[in-house]
Amino acid sequence: MDNKIVSDFSTTEQQHILGAFNKMKVKYIGFDSYAANSYSPTLPYSDISVWVKSTPENFEAIKKAISLGLGSSNRVALKKNVDDFQNFNDPNTPFINIGFTKNRLVKVFLTIPDFQKDDFDKALSNAQLRKAGIVNTKILSVEDTYKSLKASQNRHKGKFIINLEREHGKILNVKSSSKKVFPKKDFNYILANVDLEAVLEKIGYEPRTKKWGKAQHLWTRKSNDSKIVVFMNNATKGYFDVNNTENKGTVLDLLLNEYNRHWPDVFATIDEILVNPNLANVNQEYAKGNYPNTEMEKLFPLNLEQQTKLREKAIREENQILAYTRPSYLKERGLTENVIYAPEFLGQINNIPYESKETQGMIFYNTAFPMRNEFGLTSFIVRFISNSDKHSGKIYLAGPKFDGIWMSNELLKADKNIKTTLNGEAITISEGTLGAIHRVEKDSETKFQFSFNAHYLPENLRQKHNRESNSIVRVIVDNDGDFSKAKARRIIITESPIDALSFAQLMPMPDEYNLYISTGGHPSPKQIEFINKVLQRHESEVILAMDNENPGLRFNATVAGGLQHPLLQTENDIKFRIDYVNNNQNEEESNAFKKTESHLKVEFPKTKKSTTEKIESLVDKIIKNVGAFLDKDVVKVIERVSSQENESFKIAMPNSRRHLSKALDILLKIRSEIAGEGKQYFSVKKPIGKDWNEDLQSKKKHSFQNLKSETKPSVEQTQKMKL
């Protein structure tokens, strides 16, 4: 059996929960379709089912993991007691469901079909590695998966069993299922004759006819909250998945994604759709190219801008997105209105209402942070209040974040003195005033609201209108032509938008323009790519301000190492990231998992200045700085790849805060030396507690003075570095 670890389609929340299980050393094994998907290409799944050991110690570990992964918000799980846990014996019903999003849960079972509780240890010893996104887990072996599936109530078990027999008949000591030989298919005929919407209905989608327009139709599937937009491209129907930028194209692309690129399942569905299954096969007439539709042209995929516009349209049709007029949630988190409605953040927070059936139709107004790419809205991070209790959770509205980030407003500056009124009195906005402009309709005319900090008003005017220097002023201006885009002094990158707001309140700088960006957790390559485009526009210092925990430290490194600063010498710049690998799950029972560690991946360009000898000395410098006398043998190069242009290294090191911090510090120092002529364009600012909002609520004191004292490079320095 190939022991290669396979990645799956788990959500960020599921990964977070399983990561908490690993950290608390919960003893668990993935089973059912979660295991079956590892061994053969089959239907995708949504919920993750795990079998846990039914001991009091494991019960306490699970409760701690829930608290760690979801705070104290999964109260149904936390109210369970150890007697319930040990006495639960239904193999077809989960003991608890962990998570907030329907059909995206982690389901916990105390026993599974055809196994007893006492079988857990043996099954664990036979289990194999599996990845839930970036988190390592364990799944049932092929033999145990096969045994459990045969006794299970899984609606896809017949297909799973056939696939397991076909792929792993030797391991299972069964005769491999006969592999049906599919004749060669005429793809052009399929595209012209297999109706994409008929296939959607076949695989469980329902039409949302109220959302249909002349240009597109919307189909949804409740089992995994999927939304498919169907549109016409010449004579052929194409589609676009609102929640997955990679899932798009023709009916063949749809089925390939549905069946994890398993062609027999694709062809079987196509044959069922056609009135006569033989029509899907090549025959002499169609092989000669005599297609029913000779005008059919190639279906071109939608570009990112077109995808984003369709996704945004679907999101707006599905949700009532309101201006943020109910700030009670953020106020409870310690934030003030002067920050919530500051020019930087105005319009970047919304209310999205929902009606709760559990509370007799009561309407709740969730706090939502829009995630956008360069073309528009991609999703929301929604902080919601569950039922009548004031505990909150986090979900992604309309799918994963993909390339979208949350970002504060890119401010404008007044290019000249601008006359307007404040409370009926004529005032002048001084040239250079920074603020945000929003289009408004006033007196049946389109005008522009300019929001800026009262710091820019003369002191006598502030006193006259009873305005504090950090309060917000909003005035109407006739046009936006007297303003130009300003460049941010710093780009401050946090995990969550609430942390960005908290950072701004903890360290107010009314005389400086800082741009805030949040990734919503683990930064994806697409997000870093988009942040890079923002950085190129602003040429700003980058403040890495993720959470003060191991993941946050790794995220800081991943973001910094993936960004190419425009003021650095590109030919000498390095790339790097730090990945979490392995875990300590069931360490005492299996050698399959090493101790928790991280892998630093760093790439050096080969230049006249950066010779192989120079690069090796820098790698040695990293190892010596990150390691210490007691762990000098632990921090070491475990992989090296050399090409004509680059030298790449993978360095293993302990997954501790000390090692992660030292690694990032030395990487930024080396980058400054070889690509920045000694100038540092990336800095790390850590919260005192777990995150910036925790610091805000606990009234931790912060100073930005060490960063404020730094100055931007002069124009001459900038020009020199670009040469």
Question: Is residue 245's pLDDT more than 80?
Answer: no
Q: Which of 261, 283, 312 is the last residue of a domain?
A: 312
Determine the 3-state secondary structure of 371 from DSSP: strand
Residue 462 and residue 500 share a domain: no
Spatial CB neighbours of 624, under 8 Å, sequence gap ≥ 6: none
Residue 436 and residue 464 share a domain: yes
Question: Contact, 673 vs 680, CB < 8 A?
Answer: no
Provide the pLDDT confidence category of residue 8 given band limits of 50, 70 and 90: low
Provide the pLDDT confidence category of residue 212 given band limits of 50, 70 and 90: low
Question: Is residue 75's pLDDT more than 60?
Answer: no
Question: Is residue 528's pLDDT more than 80?
Answer: yes
pLDDT of residue 721: 33
Question: Is residue 323's pLDDT more than 80?
Answer: yes
Provide the pLDDT confidence category of residue 324 given band limits of 50, 70 and 90: very high
Residue 443 and residue 521 share a domain: no
Residue 675 and residue 570 share a domain: yes
Provide the pLDDT confidence category of residue 676 given band limits of 50, 70 and 90: very high
pLDDT of residue 182: 52
Structure tokens at 89: 């014996």
Share of the chain above pLDDT 90, in %: 42
pLDDT of residue 68: 78
Within-domain flag for 320: no
pLDDT of residue 708: 44
Of the listed ranges 170-174, 401-405, 711-715, the one predicted with least confidence: 711-715
pLDDT of residue 41: 56
Within-domain flag for 586: yes
Per-residue pLDDT, averaged over 205-226, amounts to 75
Q: Is 527 exposed, middle or buried (0-12, 13-18, 19+ CB in 10 A)?
A: buried
Residue 617 and residue 516 share a domain: yes
Rg of the chain over CA atoms, in angstroms?
A: 28
Question: Is residue 235's pLDDT more than 60?
Answer: yes
Question: Is residue 657's pLDDT more than 60?
Answer: yes
Per-residue pLDDT, averaged over 671-695, amounts to 94
Q: Which residues of 243-313 form beta strands (DSSP E)?
A: 248-249
Residue 656 and residue 611 share a domain: yes
Provide the pLDDT confidence category of residue 158 given band limits of 50, 70 and 90: confident
Within-domain flag for 325: no
Question: Is residue 693's pLDDT more than 70?
Answer: yes
Q: Is 87 exposed, middle or buried (0-12, 13-18, 19+ CB in 10 A)?
A: exposed
Residue 284 and residue 237 share a domain: yes
Rounded-to-integer distance, Cα 215 and Cα 194, Å? 20
Q: Is 595 exposed, middle or buried (0-12, 13-18, 19+ CB in 10 A)?
A: exposed
Q: Which of 149, 172, 195 is the last residue of a domain?
A: 172
Question: Is residue 103's pLDDT more than 90?
Answer: no
Residue 167 and residue 71 share a domain: yes
Residue 164 and residue 52 share a domain: yes
pLDDT of residue 682: 96
What average pLDDT is seen over the chain? 81
pLDDT of residue 297: 40
Within-domain flag for 352: no
Strand partners, 448: 439, 477
Structure tokens at 247: 């899932």
Between 8 and 335, residue with greater pLDDT = 335
Question: Is residue 716's pLDDT more than 70?
Answer: no
Provide the pLDDT confidence category of residue 622 given band limits of 50, 70 and 90: very high
pLDDT of residue 499: 96
pLDDT of residue 401: 63
Question: Is residue 11's pLDDT more than 80?
Answer: no
The DSSP annotation for 8-62 comes to ----HHHHHHHHHHHHTT--EEE-THHHHHHHS-----SSEEEEE--SHHHHHHH
Of the listed ranges 184-188, 292-296, 469-473, the one predicted with least confidence: 292-296
* pTM across the whole model: 0.69
The pLDDT tens digits of the residues spanning 606-617 come to 988 788 889 999
Residue 558 and residue 674 share a domain: yes
* Backbone angles phi and psi of 135, in degrees to 5: -105, 130
Question: Is residue 545's pLDDT more than 50?
Answer: yes
N-term to C-term CA, the chain? 55
Question: Is residue 390's pLDDT more than 60?
Answer: no
The pLDDT tens digits of the residues spanning 489-506 come to 999 999 999 999 999 999
Spatial CB neighbours of 676, under 8 Å, sequence gap ≥ 6: 565, 567, 568, 569, 721
Q: What is the DSSP letter of 351?
A: E
Residue 163 and residue 197 share a domain: no
Of the listed ranges 32-41, 240-249, 357-366, 654-663, the one predicted with least confidence: 357-366
CA dihedral of residues 419, 422, 426, 428 (deg, nearest 10): -40
pLDDT of residue 220: 87
Question: Contact, 629 vs 597, CB < 8 A?
Answer: no
pLDDT of residue 339: 94
Within-domain flag for 641: yes
Question: Is residue 117's pLDDT more than 70?
Answer: yes
Which CATH number do you get for residue 19?
A: 3.30.460
Within-domain flag for 431: yes
Structure tokens at 176: 């491999």
Residue 202 and residue 62 share a domain: no
Question: Is residue 429's pLDDT more than 90?
Answer: yes
Provide the pLDDT confidence category of residue 300 given band limits of 50, 70 and 90: low
Share of the chain above pLDDT 70, in %: 80
Closest CA to 394 of 421, 419, 426, 371: 371
Give the structural domain span for 456: 412-485
Question: Is residue 349's pLDDT more than 90?
Answer: yes
Per-residue pLDDT, averaged over 245-264, amounts to 83
Residue 634 host element (H or E): none
Provide the pLDDT confidence category of residue 287 given band limits of 50, 70 and 90: very low
Our count of domains for the chain comes to: 4
pLDDT of residue 254: 92
Q: Which of 267, 297, 312 is the last residue of a domain?
A: 312
Which of 9-18, 73-82, 499-508 is predicted most confidently?
499-508
Within-domain flag for 331: no
Provide the pLDDT confidence category of residue 696 given band limits of 50, 70 and 90: very high
Within-domain flag for 643: yes
